[in-house]
Structure 1
């Protein structure tokens, strides 16, 4: 059924398409919709704002929401991933080229000029104060294996507000989410084991499978609801899967938010087939409205390993993450010593202070509005492209997933786009088997200033999706 705001959005959109409300006509008031549908004001507002972002309605000050002329809707991508037998993973060198250009989340190569946001100025001050507080021989000592207690306490409090009552001693600080995923896979898998992954899914996970000598099996994942549980059950019945990696909250590249029914079924399948579930929760804090509860909050058997970091919600340059290792916690602490030894104490203390004084929560509130506006601007631009275009509409994360006309080969497009000063992230990078050649991930992490809009226009011409 989806979330309640999605149900209201669908009901209003159907009414508009069936001409229950004509172009230029006022929709029922927020108060009336709250009463009629037994919904909160926030839920109703969220549905109306989503319709406004689509260009279906417009808000008029002190008058309400009015129907606009209904545009040709952007359709969601249809994932038709093939389920192939588990196989070793080989990641294309193209990914390294994208990272070398610092363009994993940008259309433009290399960092662009711009002012540092006020929230990051505050973060830098917190870190600086922590460094100045160091006394005596502090610099001569490592932090404890699990990481700075103050930071683990703040992360635990943040998790509790999302419905997950974790304690600081259940957490371990890592060098980012990728490091956390690496520790999780090393803790619960051995070379040659089979790991189920989302398709399309995060290329960083595929890199880890390659390095650890693990086999991957792709499970189709939609842009609306994430990993398909019917397909996962089929995979589990056919092959000896040891672990499953999922991103229930705004998975990359599609931005799906997994419904609770799918989450519960996933845990039931994991219990029946005795596999570890590795939750990549890195995008949860980018939610445009309420942050979803983690899958870990439903874990009654201590088999979900949660991995996250501050890199997507706060700063890509802040290499601090965390892992809740469940039944593998002791082994993960040992593996951290082997792979990292220790984390910076003053960096951890600075981030802990930043969270404790409310600065992180303030940053998330501001970022929520900015990211939603940037997503909406991107969708409006893409709405002027060819009607053959299909685009996801995430409620969090940093990117959308584009399905271009079948004749577009995004691997070839990559090199042609570079000649025009544009960097794209081709679809095959998100697949073990090289699927999605006519797809690409496009980020809305940066403001849509003239240089990025120009890059988007050049990309449109290269794909043949112009007028």
Structure 2
């Protein structure tokens, strides 16, 4: 028996075990040592078979832990819901969203649960910020920072983006108070009251809040949970209505974690040039990739039409409230608006984060987070596939959430109050649409570890959602 046949035989045996759910999503495969002993194979042969399965995205290696099942192609049913194209309309955000945000529950079923010890990356971050505060000299605290922000942080962000395929200078970046502030500045700079903005559907409800406050109209563009905004639909929208800007998240957009392929990115930029619109890229999830971080859309921007917005809130800390924006042809206007709306960012906070990035701590944090999020995602999806009825779940390769499509009889808005009585907070699907679509859908986050309390809440949800 040749070595080639041996590794193919082992690969086939492991694949069959995955498809038959002998090893379920998120579960650990037998160790290399065990496979060598039981299958009477060499270590090199076993490793070759495992690497081939890993290349197919079926399993993943976790340092010092082994190989874990990451996908089950025939067992994972993808969401099929598709938004309708409707005429642009003013935005009226549901009070339910305000209730969820007021409870700090956007990324946790149990926001009041004791959160445990600080992660190592946050401990190191706090030390860096503390050192920066102690280094303040003289009357530094009596002066505002420049509107563009601390140059040291902008230099570190430029280096960070260069590693993701986008060559940007510090002068092209402006520090903001989070990504929501960056999106606000982008819309203010590129649009006027009454303008039409194209948005993903389902898409980020925070964008809808901004459109409402700025008096802008939204036109929803159907969005795939796998590949992002549908370019055929966007082209139809642009042919029918005058659109001033398009807000899009090419890298792991919420709620389902879609990743836009390269041809679609190029087509989007071509459409933007033809129809003369600003493209506002929400790149907040780019650093949450479970594998290689994708290049931002901005890296392909040859016409200076892409305004990139991002922050540390999804990759590092929600409480940090530091973001950034690169304003393309609107950058000078954005700097002025930053001065008007925020005046300046905290200098010592920026210095602390710059030091944190410069000494490699941010990179180490992202590496640890990648493995933690991957394990959290797998355990969540595995649990969701035990729910009764026809349940379809997205399988994102980044981001912090999955999109769950439930039987059509389920009304997630109506179930919100019922779940709340049990201390569980869900994020209903209609919040991700201007027109209230996706009534039978819900977004669930894997940002936090699935301890017993959260798993118990997850097990209660089918009953609270009245899934039969």
1:405 equivalent to 2:407? Answer yes
Query: How far did 1:111 drift?
Result: 5.3
Match of residue 103 from structure 1: 105
TM-score by structure 2 length? Answer: 0.88
**Structure 1, unaligned runs of 5 or more:** 1-11
Task: Write out aligned runs for 1:350-369 (5 A).
Answer: 350-369=352-371
Q: For the residues of structure 2 that align with 1:199 and 1:429, how far apart are their CA atoms?
A: 10
Match runs of 1:142-153 below 5 Å: 142-153=144-155
Which of residues 284, 296, 305 is equivalent to 1:294? Answer: 296
Pairing of 1:9-408 with structure 2 (within 5 A) = 44=52, 46-47=54-55, 50-52=57-59, 73-110=75-112, 112-408=114-410
Distance 1:22 1:384 in 2: 12
Q: Deviations over 1:272-326 (max 9, x none)?
A: 1011000000001000111000000000000000000000000000100000000
Bigger shift: 321-330 or 385-394? 385-394
What 5-or-longer segments of structure 2 have no aligned partner? 1-10, 24-34
Deviation (angstroms), 1:420? 1.2
Q: Say if 1:23 and 1:145 are closer, same or farther in 2 by CA, change over 3 A.
A: closer
Residue of structure 2 in register with 1:7 after alignment: none
Contact 1:74–1:389 at 8 Å: present in 2 too?
Answer: no
Change (3 A) 1:356 1:108: same
Q: Deviations over 1:369-426 (max 9, x none)?
A: 0000000000111111125000000001100000011000000010000011110000
Contact 2:389–2:407 (CA under 8 A) maintained in structure 1: no
Describe the shift of the 1:193–1:29 C-alpha distance in structure 2 as closer, same or farther (beyond 3 A): farther
Taking a change above 3 Å as real, the CA distance of residues 277 and 20 of structure 1, as seen in their structure-2 partners, is: closer
In structure 2, C-alpha distance between the alignment counterparts of 1:65 and 1:105, rounded to whole Å: 25
Which of 448, 451, 458 matches 1:449? 451
1:327-361 deviations in whole A, cap 9, x for unaligned? 00000000000100000000000000000000000
Separation (CA, whole Å) in 2 of partners of 1:354 and 1:192: 42
TM-score (norm 1): 0.88
CA distance in 1 between partners of 2:74 and 2:54 (Å) = 22
Q: How big is the alpha-carbon RMSD for the aligned residues of Structure 1 and Structure 2?
A: 3.1
Structure 1 runs of 4+ aligned residues shifted over 3 Å read 19-26, 28-36, 44-48
How much does 1:73 deviate?
1.2
For residues 74-109 of structure 1, what are the alpha-carbon distances to aligned partners after superposition, in whole Å with 9 as ceiling and x for unaligned?
Answer: 211113211000000000010111011111000013
1:71 positional shift: 9.1
Aligned residues: 441
Q: Distance in 2 between matches of 1:135 and 1:240?
A: 52
